[in-house]
């Protein structure tokens, strides 16, 4: 008989026992807040009033973007200052660099090495959506949300509040990037929705599918650390759904607070000498045209988060 066999059998038995014990372990019972006042108090204290204590952060995550016909997984790194600048590097699964981006008070700059082209827009949300990035707000807002702070997107008071049948509450807002927020019975964001800017087109729309009805985005928050008995923290999985079957799943692998200011050089995005620069700016609206103001972001370069619509450039 092979001498290694008993050791292998013992290891397999121990692994099976560990899996059985983990499956039988009692789920952590979190405090439930059945009345609106208590639920909202916990939400405000944890997700609105409490700002990140660090200067910035570094996030490693994977992003799976899916359409009805295909899916694409990338690795992303978001790093920099909460007050900006922020950098976002996107790599293919095999490690090839796909895009390097920088968001600061001047807007968004995005460089694509395979095209040797750099795209820029003074509003980081419009620029990102013209380039096809799925998340409907600025990198500044995304960095804060990943850290558990929703204050840049959600007003202190909702326009209305409704109890959910399964526990928790629905908060509705009349203006701003977020129009609906669902809180779970523990006072945590579970889902939020908003109106999708006309600047973003799904894959089906890019292929010529007609646009009809209200275009709404939704983000579901899941995998809170305390669900598994770990210390309290923000959700580590964000699932974004878009019209016409597009979706994106962002899984946070690591989030490291940066207590000291980042070195300026670490957040610089230097373009190669031969890179082609492309402006994504919309043509200015005619003074005679009374174009409506469109709210598209809670933390864009223009602190009001507004921009007058114009002709959309093709990218």
The pairs formed by 228-233 with CB atoms below 8 angstroms and a separation of 24 or more are 228/28, 229/28, 232/46, 233/148
Cβ atoms < 10 Å from Cβ of 146: 20
What is the pLDDT, as a whole number, of residue 214? 83
pLDDT at 171: 98
| Cis peptide, bond prior to residue 239, ω within 30 of zero | no
CA dihedral of residues 233, 237, 242, 245 (deg, nearest 10): -160
What is the pLDDT at residue 211?
Answer: 74
- Residue 121 CA to residue 130 CA, distance in Å, equals 9
- Kindly state the average pLDDT of the residues 202-231: 90
pLDDT on residue 212? 77
CATH class of 36-307: mainly beta
d(CA 4, CA 168): 55
- CB-CB contact of 181 with 228 (8 Å): no
Three-class SS of 87-137: EEEEEECCCCEEEEEEEECCEEEEEECCCCEEEEECCHHHHHHHCCCCCCC
DSSP 170: E
d(CA 199, CA 220): 22
Q: How confident is the model at residue 305 (pLDDT cuts 50, 70, 90)?
A: very low
pTM score: 0.82
Q: Name the average pLDDT for the chain.
A: 84
92/76 Cα distance (integer angstroms): 9
Position 275 confidence tier, pLDDT thresholds 50, 70, 90: very high
For 37-46, 63-72, 85-94, 193-202, which range has the lowest pLDDT when averaged over its residues?
193-202
Whether the predicted pLDDT of 207 surpasses 50 = yes
- Kindly state the helix (H) or strand (E) to which residue 183 belongs, with its residue range: strand 180-183
- Boundaries of every domain in the chain: 36-307
Which pLDDT belongs to residue 306?
34
**Above 90 in pLDDT, residue 3?**
no
pLDDT at 203: 85
What's the whole-number mean pLDDT along residues 110-130? 95
- Please indicate whether residue 289 or residue 33 has the higher confidence score (pLDDT): 33
Give the distance from CA 310 to its chain's centroid. 26
């Amino acid at each position: 008989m092979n001498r290694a066999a008993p050791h292998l059998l013992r290891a397999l038995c121990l692994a099976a026992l560990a899996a059985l014990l983990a499956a039988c372990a009692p789920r952590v019972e979190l405090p439930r807040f059945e009345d609106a006042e208590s639920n909202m108090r916990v939400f405000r204290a944890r997700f609105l009033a409490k700002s990140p204590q660090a200067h910035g952060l570094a996030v490693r995550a994977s992003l799976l973007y899916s359409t009805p016909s295909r899916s694409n997984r990338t690795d992303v790194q978001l790093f920099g200052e909460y007050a900006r600048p922020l950098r976002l590097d996107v790599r293919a699964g095999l490690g090839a660099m796909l895009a390097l981006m920088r968001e600061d008070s001047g807007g968004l700059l995005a460089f694509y090495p395979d095209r040797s082209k750099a795209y820029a827009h003074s509003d980081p949300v419009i620029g990102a959506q013209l380039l096809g990035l799925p998340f409907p707000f600025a990198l500044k807002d995304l960095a804060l949300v990943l850290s558990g702070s929703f204050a840049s997107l959600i007003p202190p008071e909702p326009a209305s509040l409704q109890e959910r049948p399964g526990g928790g509450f629905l908060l509705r807002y009349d203006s701003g990037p977020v129009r609906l927020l669902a809180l779970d019975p523990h006072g945590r964001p579970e889902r939020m929705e908003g109106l999708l800017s006309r600047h973003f087109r799904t894959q089906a729309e890019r292929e010529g599918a007609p646009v009809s009805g209200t275009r709404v985005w939704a983000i579901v928050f899941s995998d809170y650390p305390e669900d598994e008995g770990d210390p309290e923290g923000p959700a580590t999985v964000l699932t974004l759904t878009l019209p016409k079957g597009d979706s994106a799943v962002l899984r946070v692998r690591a989030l490291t607070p940066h207590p000291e200011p980042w070195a300026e050089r670490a957040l610089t995005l230097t373009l190669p000498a031969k890179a082609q620069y492309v402006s994504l700016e919309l043509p200015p609206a005619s003074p005679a045209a009374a174009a409506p103001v469109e709210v598209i972001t809670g933390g864009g370069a223009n602190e009001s988060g507004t921009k007058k619509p114009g002709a959309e450039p093709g990218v």
